[in-house]
Amino acid sequence: MERSPENLQEVFDRAFAGIDRTLSGFAPPMAPREVGAVTSVSTGIATVSGLPGAGSEELLRFPGGVSGIAFNVDEEEIGVVLLGEYGHLQAGDEVERTGRVMDVAVGDALLGRVIDPLGRPVDGLGPIACEERLPIERPAAPIMERAPVTVPLQTGLKVVDALIPIGRGQRELILGDRQTGKTAIALDTILNQKGQDVLCVYCAIGQRASAVAKAVAVLREKGALEYTVVVVSEGNDPPGLAYIAPYAATSIAEHFMEKGRDVLIVYDDLTQHARAYRELSLLLRRPPGREAFPGDIFYIHSRLLERATRLRPERGGGSLTALPIIETEAQNISAYIPTNLISITDGQIYLSPSLFELGLLPAVDVGKSVSRVGGKAQRAAYRDVAGDLKLAYAQFEELETFARFGARLDEATQTSIAHGKRIRACLKQAESSPVPVAAQIAVLAALTAGFFDPVPMEHMPDAEKAVQDASKSIPAEILSRFETAGKLDNADRKAILDMADRSLLPFRSGPAGPPQPETPAPLVTPAAAPLKAKAAA
């Protein structure tokens, strides 16, 4: 049926009346939006004007999804550290405030994944579903919420666990020249946490992509990636990402610590972190100080490492153990950054290039290494069997240096040198082969009792392996007592020594026989040669 013009007019009138009622009831939300403009862009930084309400450390949003952190908040402009590829940015681009600080996703979904400091996956395994986020900059736990460091963190390295023990909640610095095995020690420590109920975070700062890929491959091959989070900032990334990487990794670790878990975090390495921060500071025209580092370089590292602690049981009893790595130049541990980190941390493991060149791996210089927590974070069984080992080893190193002059040595000195050589042989260890607690205690007990002294030096690796294999037969009740705070009783000690003695018997009665005392040839100068010939006549 066709409608008349009058009917169509009524339909239109009703429709327009409904639209008018809808529009009159609609109130669009009006929210102020503070927008500024880029005035200049440099390497890794930008200066922004027109954001009078922006605060320090606030996250700013640039075109193309690039974020930045407000660093210098001046009266006229803001110096911003860029966190991403900034090649497309140019003067005049809009900049918007976010009203929040930089944060990172945290949670169990990160375990086994490789991410960048912004929380984005870089392992090609798809997105990560995390429900919680934490700011990368967080205040450290108050002193009243901290507990003493008394529980050991086993590294699986005999030289560290016996002589430089590390506790859960401690900060132990690893330093040495390049290519001396610093990363290897940290990775071995991560590998040894398998089955120890310790989660790990490995933070690579400014590393080569090949080095990071090798570390991830080792962790994956040994089954350690399943309890590890890898945070990666590569060398070709903007310096802003290298700067925030350790803080983001620490927030991820703190999430687990506050859930009552024990966490180990490795910063590899803070030398690159300090250099990235120096680059940003100089570009932002902050005044340089010693070695051109800014004046607050000590503060940025201290506020980072102060977050490593052990919490009281009321706070969950979790712990965060930090292993920062520092690279020295020409063995100069008194340079600016190494001395800063030595004063912040609770001890250091120093790796010597000369020991590395001699093949004494891990190349730990026992004389320059120290743990300021010490025996308080060491199992009583270790203190029983390795109490005098560090002193004996230090005496051996002095005597060995003295013997190089060709002086005549008495029998006691020769015995000390022979014993020290066997200590050094037992402390050698291959990479990626952590030694369990029972095997370490068996080897150290046999070493302290002098059972290795009659073994020829060329048979020492096989003899030590025999003791380690024999330690697998230690009864379960003795193994359980290794974990307690009590000392080894005489029966346990006798059982371990008898086991070690039986395993070493074939090496002591081998074809080479017991070693003879080594008497260095006396030093004969040309002037003394005629006198010796006359005396012989």
Per-domain residue ranges of the chain = 35-100, 104-378, 385-508
Is a pLDDT exceeding 90 seen at residue 535?
no
Percent of the chain at pLDDT > 70 equals 92
The confidence score (pLDDT) of residue 534 equals 40
DSSP letter at 171 equals: B
Task: Give the list of residues 6+ apart from residue 178 with CB closer than 8 angstroms, or none.
Answer: 327
Lowest mean pLDDT among 39-48, 274-283, 433-442, 486-495: 486-495
Catalytic residue from among 21, 285, 372, 502: 372
> How far, in Å, CA of 207 to CA of 269, rounded?
8
Across all residues in the chain, what is the average pLDDT?
89
| Average pLDDT rounded to a whole number, residues 280-302 | 95
Is a pLDDT exceeding 90 seen at residue 353?
yes
Residue that wins the pLDDT comparison between 140 and 410: 140
Is a pLDDT exceeding 70 seen at residue 289?
yes
Q: Would you place residue 92 in the very low, low, confident or very high pLDDT band (cuts 50, 70, 90)?
A: very high
The confidence score (pLDDT) of residue 529 equals 38
Second CATH level (architecture) for the domain 35-100: Beta Barrel (2.40)
Is a pLDDT exceeding 50 seen at residue 51?
yes
Amino acid identity at 511: P
Give 325-365 as a DSSP string.
Answer: EEE-STT-TTSHHHHHHHHHSSEEEEEPHHHHHTT-SS-B-
Is a pLDDT exceeding 70 seen at residue 511?
no
Structure tokens at 126: 């798809």
Second CATH level (architecture) for the domain 385-508: Up-down Bundle (1.20)
- Give catalytic status of residue 120 as yes or no: no
Q: Would you place residue 3 in the very low, low, confident or very high pLDDT band (cuts 50, 70, 90)?
A: low
Fold of 104-378: Rossmann fold (3.40.50)
The confidence score (pLDDT) of residue 522 equals 38
The confidence score (pLDDT) of residue 512 equals 41
Q: Would you place residue 301 in the very low, low, confident or very high pLDDT band (cuts 50, 70, 90)?
A: very high
**pLDDT digit string (tens) for 320-343?**
999 999 999 999 999 999 999 999
| Average pLDDT rounded to a whole number, residues 126-133 | 93
| Average pLDDT rounded to a whole number, residues 69-97 | 93
Domains 35-100 and 104-378 share a fold: no
| Average pLDDT rounded to a whole number, residues 303-329 | 97
Is a pLDDT exceeding 50 seen at residue 378?
yes
| Average pLDDT rounded to a whole number, residues 31-45 | 89
Structure tokens at 92: 């005049």
**pLDDT digit string (tens) for 5-32?**
567 677 777 777 777 777 777 776 767 7
Q: Would you place residue 485 in the very low, low, confident or very high pLDDT band (cuts 50, 70, 90)?
A: low
Give 177-219 as a DSSP string.
Answer: STTSSHHHHHHHHHHTTTTTTEEEEEEEEEE-HHHHHHHHHHH
Is a pLDDT exceeding 50 seen at residue 144?
yes
